[in-house]
Chains A and B, each alone.
Chain A
Amino acid sequence: MNTDLDDLLELSDFYILSQRFEEAIKVLKKAEKLKKLEPKIYYNLGIAYEVLSENDLARASFRLALKLKPDYKSAQEHLDRLIEK
């Protein structure tokens, strides 16, 4: 069971959709500490950082998501766009 992780990811989705990006980042940092190799943690982190224009952190997060899931299309699209910025 991944209940803790799932809860944290769900909460991060909620914070992102509520435009509370800093809170989403805090929750995702907690999820990261669970040491589960879940690409969505890094994808959501990338989204939150990108919205906040923290582009270096966003790029690093999308890269981590892609390392865990090389065919993560959305993460690749965001990374490509950020590299050309």
Chain B
Amino acid sequence: MKQFVVIGLGRFGSSIAKALSNKNFEVLAIDENEESVKEIEGIVSQAVVMDATDEKGLRELGIEDFDTAIVSMGETVEDSIMITLALKEMGLKHVIVKAKSDLHSKILKKVGADRVIFPEREMAAKLAESLASPKIFDVIELSKTHGIVEMIVPKKLVDKTLGDLKLRTKYKVNVIAIKRKLPITKPDGSTDFKEDIIISPGPDDELISGDILILLGENSVLEKIEKL
């Protein structure tokens, strides 16, 4: 099982520690703030109050045996640089660090960070994308020209089968999957829905209102399909 150490339990650090624990990974969470550690105790495998710039203390915790470290120091840029350097010197293979600025990121890369992240910037870009194209939920860029998008089924495609639509031959677009909300009746008699996914749908699969298509193709063509 993969083991993670999360250093710095602010909003981002505690969220990632909880999310990894929910996925049943072993997580060691470290922060010098007792309150922050208390909040996460019992959720992660181990939570420790300590100053993570104390290299000796980190070694005593056996940090070098962990697969990945996530460094998310809220305030002090210097601390995150020192900790990153110490972790790499201890031989950690994968160190991910939250950066506050481009200069911070540059220094982190110089001291050996394997991945530098800007959660606010990434979230902002994603939000801007979703506000610009409300029918598109998620985009994975495969190259400058091709991508995978999650898109609400355009009205013109509803009630048609994939065989009728011939998206592959007409547009060179592959339908990887269809996410569908299936209506159900709950035990109390009220209506609700459960989410279903049809992987690699076939030509006989018919699209219905509310379907979310996961499409792979050329970006310009995907944009055209969105506007159908």
Contact = CB atoms under 8 A, between A and B. Distances in A.
B210 A17 contact: no
Interface residues of A, number: 17
Contacts of A51: 181, 183, 193, 209-210
Contact of A44 (B191, B209, B212): B191
Contacts of B210: 19, 21, 51-53
B185 interface: yes
A19 B190 contact: no
A52 B209 contact: yes
B192 interface: yes
8 contacts: A16-B183, A19-B183, A19-B210, A50-B193, A51-B183, A51-B209, A52-B152, A74-B190
Q: Which 4 A-B pairs have the closest CB atoms?
A: A51-B210, A51-B181, A52-B210, A53-B152
Given A13-B191, A74-B192, 9 more contacts: A16-B183, A17-B185, A18-B183, A19-B210, A21-B209, A21-B210, A47-B183, A47-B193, A52-B210
Interface of B: 135, 137, 152, 181, 183, 185-186, 190-193, 208-210, 212
